[in-house]
Amino acid sequence: MKFNNPTGSIVAMITPFHQDGSVNFDALTQLLERQIAAGTDAILTLGTTGEYPTMSHEEDASVVAHTIKVVDGRVPVIVGSGSNCTATQVEKSIQYQDMGADALLLISPYYNKANSDGMVRHFAETADRVKIPCLLYNVPGRTGCSIPVSAVETLSRHPRICGIKEASGDMSYAMKIAHCVGPDFALYSGNDDITLPLMSIGGSGVISVFANVCPDVCHQIVADYAGGNQARALKTHLKYLELMNGLFMEVNPIPVKSAMNLMGLDAGPLRLPLCEMSREHQTALRAMMEEAGLL
């Protein structure tokens, strides 16, 4: 399926594991089908929520292949191919493109970082080498650096860079890049709690952690806002806001996997260095889910 900057809820999928730590492909199938049945507008695999930093290249490829096979063109599949090594990012991007990915999510270099020119070249080098759309991923809380506004401006003019997942939580930054938004460059919230504020400045929706728990609700919030029923979108958003924030009371995806397991969804364990939530946070999360009517 061609990726045409859809407006809506794009789920940042978890990767379910068996108790021995191996990928649980049966559970992954069930979770993907649940998303599609609930109206999710696109699937992101191998994002931060998917725990790809602890997975081997072979496991990454297996999850991508399985996701593309199960989804079978019903919604677009975006694959996280980012790396702090540009050559590795190019290699993985070409691989996932050839496997059938509809679009790619490219992260800013972490740990080694880069100056503005290096940042532009990191993304442009990858986009130059593939034939499918690419989304930038700005998440300075993870990478230790933000994509400079000037770099976003430059990259937004690249024919294969079609948008940005903005996950800094900084509305001032989002405002500074809002003028880049247009038919060929979309803005997606990377933070569930500010989806509506970002849509108010031209955003197309959200790449969502919360959608793992409530895919139908997340889809409806964005659909209502985009369809002109902002009042209903806001009412629903506020109803679930505490839970959206609760899913980040510990580092993602620890809380969302905990929430899914509480709901009877087979998310399984985490891979070290991530581990189970503290007892105090588990109690708090359960209370939020009960308040939201999920338990």
CA distances (Å), 62 to each of 3, 68, 91, 96, 174, in order?
22, 10, 16, 11, 35
Q: Please enumerate in sequence order all residues whose Cβ is within 8 A of that of 86, keeping only pairs 6 or more positions apart, or say none.
A: 109, 121, 122, 125, 126
- The number of residues making up the chain comes to 295
Catalytic annotation on 137? yes
Is residue 160 within 8 Å of 166, Cβ to Cβ? no
Catalytic annotation on 240? no
Question: Considering 92, 165, 173, 257, which one is annotated as catalytic?
Answer: 165
Question: Considering 96, 137, 173, 240, which one is annotated as catalytic?
Answer: 137
Is residue 135 within 8 Å of 127, Cβ to Cβ? no
Secondary structure of the chain as H, E, C letters = CCCCCCCEEEEECCCCECCCCCECHHHHHHHHHHHHHCCCCEEEECCHHHCHHHCCHHHHHHHHHHHHHHHCCCCCEEEECCCCCHHHHHHHHHHHHHHCCCEEEEECCCCCCCCHHHHHHHHHHHHHHCCCCEEEEECHHHHCCCCCHHHHHHHCCCCCEEEEEECCCCHHHHHHHHHHCECCEEEEECCHHHHHHHHCCCCCEEEECHHHCCHHHHHHHHHHHHCCCHHHHHHHHHHHHHHHHHCCCCCCCHHHHHHHHHCCCCCCCCCCCCCCCCHHHHHHHHHHHHHCCCC
Q: Which residues are catalytic?
A: 137, 165
